């Protein structure tokens, strides 16, 4: 029924205010469009804060890559998920029924409490999700793009390593020597893991001929993840060591710790030739590790 029809059916003594809500929505939408897709500043903000650096591009693709994998896994397992939820619902109803019987409450006439156990959907009736297939392809493509985007990162890390090395050997430096040593190790870790990752990508795409590219591709990716794991473990230790205990309740500190810890299952998964996580858990851990940076980056877009 149209808004006009609703307006004509209203009692005559009531003011006609049916157009107020749609008008407000239109005005809000118009205001939002002017600040976003019709605004030059909006695109300039995206260019400056998202697209101008390979690090921010990777930060954006990091979440999208794992989120597409997570959605794909959920869609591929939707029948198992539904069956699990139905079982939990049935178990809860049985618990309620048992409690009612203990209290001598008659439940014989209750259709809800006397439901039969759920039966799993036969595989012949389970239709594969086309959307899940496309999301998995997107995940694979974005992962490839992310590694290609990082091919020059080892060069970008060199000034960091050189600065940290000079700082480590500076006799006038005020920071503890152990802190400066850790900084050097972490910078070196980043360069080494990027070199391993780059070699893995280049052999995977046959830019380098080794006689057995699949083997060397897997080996270099595995060693890349092992170095990544060393970086994460040191980083987690330093998060505790360099932060006073009275600051551990800080939200930013807890988020920073969580972002590093949740990547450890991913490191273990990629370090093993056969992996140890299902695509669901890979997607979930990846989303957990990348969500806050993704959110903060897009929240910084100025729409004024």
pLDDT for residue 117: 77
For 206, left (φ over 0), alpha (ψ -120 to 50), or beta?
A: left
> To the nearest whole number, what is the mean pLDDT of the chain?
87
Q: Which residues have C-beta within 8 Å of that of residue 147, sequence separation ≥ 6?
A: 197, 198, 200, 201
Q: Which of 31-35, 38-42, 161-165 is predicted with the least confidence, judged by mean pLDDT? A: 31-35
pTM: 0.80
User: Which two tokens mark 160?
Assistant: 């960091």
Tokens 């086309």, located at residue: 130
pLDDT value at position 5?
44
- At residue 10, the 3 state secondary structure works out as coil
Q: Which of 5-9, 146-150, 202-206 has the lowest mean pLDDT?
A: 5-9
- Please state, in angstroms and rounded to a whole number, the distance separating the CA atoms of residues 279 and 272: 15
Query: 87: part of which helix (H) or strand (E)?
Result: helix 78-102
* Size of the chain in residues: 304
Distance between CA atoms of residues 53 and 62, nearest Å: 14
Nearest to 160 by CA among 129, 123, 194, 118: 194
213 close to 221: Cβ distance less than 8 angstroms: no
Supply the DSSP symbol for 210.
-
Average pLDDT score over residue span 69-94:
86
Residue 15 has a pLDDT of 55
CA distance 126 to 236: 44
- Report, as an integer, the average pLDDT of 217-235: 96
Predicted local confidence at residue 7, as pLDDT: 44
pLDDT > 70 in the chain, percent? 87
Q: Can you tell me the mean pLDDT for 94-120? A: 71
Alpha carbons within 13 A on the beta-carbon side of 150: 26
- Helix (H) or strand (E) run with residue 5 in it: helix 3-9
In order, the DSSP letters of 126-137 are -PPPHHHHHHHH
Average pLDDT over residues 6-34: 64
pLDDT score for 40 = 87
| pLDDT at residue 49 tops 50 | yes
């Amino acid at each position: 029924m149209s808004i006009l029809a609703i307006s004509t059916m209203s009692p005559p003594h009531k003011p006609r205010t049916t157009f107020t809500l749609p008008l407000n929505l239109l005005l809000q939408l118009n205001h939002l469009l002017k600040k976003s897709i019709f605004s030059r500043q909006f695109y300039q903000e995206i260019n400056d804060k998202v697209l101008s650096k390979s690090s921010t591009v990777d930060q954006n693709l990091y979440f999208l890559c794992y989120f597409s994998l997570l959605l794909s896994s959920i869609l591929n397992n939707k029948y198992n998920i539904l069956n699990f939820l139905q079982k939990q619902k049935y178990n809860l109803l049985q618990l309620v029924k048992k409690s009612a019987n203990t209290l001598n409450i008659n439940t014989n006439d209750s259709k809800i409490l006397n439901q039969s156990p759920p039966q799993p959907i036969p595989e012949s009736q389970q239709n594969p999700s086309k959307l899940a297939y496309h999301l998995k392809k997107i995940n694979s493509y974005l992962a490839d793009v992310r590694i290609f985007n990082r091919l020059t990162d080892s060069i970008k890390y060199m000034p960091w390593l050189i600065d940290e090395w000079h700082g480590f050997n500076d006799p006038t430096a005020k920071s503890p020597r152990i802190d400066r040593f850790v900084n050097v190790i972490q910078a070196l870790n980043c360069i080494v893991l990027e070199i391993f990752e780059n070699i893995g990508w280049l052999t995977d795409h046959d830019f380098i001929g080794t006689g057995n590219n699949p083997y060397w591709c897997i080996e270099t990716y595995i060693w890349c993840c092992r170095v990544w794991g060393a970086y994460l473990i040191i980083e987690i230790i330093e998060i505790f060591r360099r932060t006073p205990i009275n600051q551990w309740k800080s939200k930013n500190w807890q988020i920073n710790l969580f972002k590093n810890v949740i990547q450890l299952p991913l490191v273990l998964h990629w370090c093993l030739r056969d992996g140890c996580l299902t695509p669901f858990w890979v997607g979930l851990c990846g989303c957990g590790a990348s969500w806050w940076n993704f959110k903060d980056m897009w929240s910084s877009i100025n729409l004024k």
